[in-house]
Amino acid sequence: MKQREAFGLWVALAILAAVAVLAYRSIDATARTLAWVERTHKVREKLEDVSGAYSRATSARRAYLVAGDDSQLPDVPVLDAHLETTVSELRELLIGDAPQLARLENLAELLDERIHVLQVQIVDRRAGGTGAETAEGLALVARIRTAREAMEKSGNEALADRDAATRRDVVRTKLAEILGTCISFSILLFAFGRLNQETRRRRESETALRASEKFLDSIIENIPDMIFVKEAKELRFERINRAGEDLLGVDRSVLIHKNDFDFFPPEQARAFQALDHRTLAGGVALDIDEEPIRTKNGERWLHTKKVPIVDESGAPKYLLGISEDITERRREAVVLKAAKDAAEAANQELEAFSYAVAHDLRAPLRSVAGFSMALEEDYADKLDKTGLEFLSRMRESARQMAQRIDGLLGLSRLSRGDLVIERLDISRIAEHSAAALREAYPERDVEVVVQSGLVADGDARLIASVLDNLLGNAWKFTSKRAGARVEVGASTTDGVRAFFVRDNGAGFEQAYAQRLFGAFQRLHSAVEFEGTGIGLATVQRIVRRHGGRIWAEGEVERGATFYFTL
């Protein structure tokens, strides 16, 4: 396209130059013709002069010869000289026109001859002759006329030729001008059209460019993180977005072309620029997790990424920065950490407490139990049956309290330590618990039905403890029933899949279902069913630590079902 346009332009220029040359040459020719015509006219005038001078030279002589008037004879030499001069002048005019010059020489000769003849006749007359015109003289006059007329004719013909040539020249010049004008006009018209088209095209592409710039601008401006660009040499700001203005509390009109030292404390500006330089020198993006920045709105914390922008040669040109304001998140993290620390401290306190319980509460119990037994052993003969029974009760109470302390410790231990979550075969764990119970209570005959293929994610040790407890309870509360049956399975109620352990034992009143899970809460007397009252509390703690839920359904003497999710 461009090549074609350039070619067209050169052709147009060539045409215009040709037209100019043509016109110049045409005008030049016309000028030359005009000069020639002017000379031809001068020649004719001079020829008239020659004729006049000849007439006068002959008339003066003929006046004497014919009328005897000799008054004019004294003028004859002057007239002859004049004729001579006139002929010379004509000759000069005719230089370069050989045919006319030849004719002039012929005429001049004839004129000389005629003058000579007349002079001879004058001499003859003076000598008494007649001085009459001879036939020869007459013939000469005729020849002079012919010669003169030949010259005049030649001049006229040439004039006519030139006239025609001039007219042709004019026509040609006009044609050349018209043609040139037409071509120039066409080229101009074409060029104007092209220019118009080009202008429109440029305007359209500029509009498109502006639209695209506006689009990019709106993206940059609306990004909620600070975006800034610094030039690579003096690290002056070239660009900043709205989020950046808001963050720094500085208008971009103030910021642009200034650097960090104009806005931040010197040590901070130095730190920023050091990282800028590192980014530009390293040629790779830099990720600054946390950096404090002192702004007009107080201190903020940023997570900043700095990216070098290089030119075609790979030299750093700009530094692009993207900063996310993490002040709030950081504050939340600090609060969260404080809460976590507090929880940990509380946990540690609990641990210390548990440790003290384990150690310090057991020792006196051991004394109570130990010395009551010593009393029983050493002083049995001094006590009656009732006294011995009291001692036995004391020992039993001490033993129970020790059990409960151990239960409490186990419960508190559940709050500590990390869960090791893995895929568990619940069916297998339940079978395992049942097998252990059968071994521990060989006298019992309990039908156990475990649904196969039960799986869940959990901590193996703790989930085993859950099933040990639940199955142990089922075992315990079916002890007074013939045809005891324990079922382990999974069911879905209200879209929630839960495991369950069901028995057909003593059951409980549904109204007290929630109390089952409190530590030392018992719905049966120790005489009926022995126990520490810590088992279900432990189970609930474990289930909750797994993010699950536990609940129970029961009816007195119709059995109980414990559900749990993991």
Partner 1 sequence: MENKTILLVEDDPNDEALTLRAFAKQNIKNQIVVVRDGAEALDWLFVRGAHANRDPGLIPQVILLDLNLPKVNGLEVLRAVRADPRTKRLPIVLLTSSKEDRDVIAGYDLGANSYVRKPVDFAEFAEAIRQLGLYWMVLNEPAPTHG
- Nearest distance from C-beta of residue 413 to partner 1, angstroms: 8
DSSP string, 385-442: HHHHHHHHHHHHHHHHHHHHHHHHHHHHHHHSS---EEEEEHHHHHHHHHHHHHHH-T
Token digits of residue 509:
């009143």
Nearer to partner 1, 412 or 427 (CB): 412
- Nearest distance from C-beta of residue 354 to partner 1, angstroms: 8
Nearer to partner 1, 217 or 349 (CB): 349
DSSP string, 492-556: EETTEEEEEEEE-SS---GGGGGGGGSTT--SS-TTTS---S-HHHHHHHHHHHTT--EEEEEET
Q: Which residues contact 308 (CB under 8 A, 6 or more apart)?
A: 232, 279, 280, 282, 283, 284, 285, 316, 318, 319, 320
Token digits of residue 293:
């920045």
Dihedral sign (CA 491, 493, 495, 500): negative
- Nearest distance from C-beta of residue 439 to partner 1, angstroms: 22
- Nearest distance from C-beta of residue 346 to partner 1, angstroms: 18
Give the C-alpha distances (Å, rounded to integers) separating 53 from 85, 102, 545.
10, 20, 152
- Nearest distance from C-beta of residue 368 to partner 1, angstroms: 9
Q: Which residues of 38-51 are buried (b: 16+ CB within 10 A; e: fewer)?
A: eebeebbebbebbb
- Nearest distance from C-beta of residue 389 to partner 1, angstroms: 17
Q: Which residues of 406-415 are buried (b: 16+ CB within 10 A; e: fewer)?
A: ebbbbbbebe
- Nearest distance from C-beta of residue 543 to partner 1, angstroms: 22
- Nearest distance from C-beta of residue 365 to partner 1, angstroms: 5
d(CA 416, CA 503): 32
d(CA 495, CA 65): 165
Query: What distance lies between CA 111 and its chain's CA centroid?
Result: 104
Nearer to partner 1, 250 or 375 (CB): 375
Give the C-alpha distances (Å, rounded to integers) separating 88 from 158, 312, 450.
22, 87, 157
- Nearest distance from C-beta of residue 402 to partner 1, angstroms: 4
Nearer to partner 1, 191 or 401 (CB): 401
Nearer to partner 1, 168 or 362 (CB): 362
Nearer to partner 1, 271 or 373 (CB): 373
Token digits of residue 118:
């007349």
- Nearest distance from C-beta of residue 524 to partner 1, angstroms: 24
Enumerate binding residues for partner 1 (CB under 8 A): 354-355, 358-360, 362-367, 369-371, 373-374, 395, 398-399, 401-402, 406, 409
- Nearest distance from C-beta of residue 436 to partner 1, angstroms: 21
Give the C-alpha distances (Å, rounded to integers) separating 371 from 374, 378, 406, 407, 533.
5, 10, 21, 24, 27
Cβ–Cβ < 8 Å for 113, 100: no
Nearer to partner 1, 16 or 373 (CB): 373
Nearer to partner 1, 179 or 365 (CB): 365
- Nearest distance from C-beta of residue 304 to partner 1, angstroms: 44
Nearer to partner 1, 369 or 486 (CB): 369
Nearer to partner 1, 100 or 354 (CB): 354
Nearer to partner 1, 358 or 460 (CB): 358
Which of helix, strand or coil describes residue 290? strand
Nearer to partner 1, 306 or 395 (CB): 395
Q: What is the 3-state secondary structure (H, E, C) of 6-56?
A: HHHHHHHHHHHHHHHHHHHHHHHHHHHHHHHHHHHHHHHHHHHHHHHHHHH
Nearer to partner 1, 354 or 540 (CB): 354
d(CA 83, CA 143): 18
Q: Which residues of 75-91 are buried (b: 16+ CB within 10 A; e: fewer)?
A: ebeebbebbbebbeebb
Which of helix, strand or coil describes residue 325? strand
Q: Which residues contact 312 (CB under 8 A, 6 or more apart)?
A: none
Which of helix, strand or coil describes residue 129? coil
Which of helix, strand or coil describes residue 206? helix
**Other CB atoms closer than 10 Å to residue 97's CB: what's the count?**
18
Nearer to partner 1, 255 or 398 (CB): 398
- Nearest distance from C-beta of residue 373 to partner 1, angstroms: 4
- Nearest distance from C-beta of residue 366 to partner 1, angstroms: 5
**Other CB atoms closer than 10 Å to residue 60's CB: what's the count?**
22
What are the residues facing 447 on neighbouring strands? 485
d(CA 334, CA 326): 12
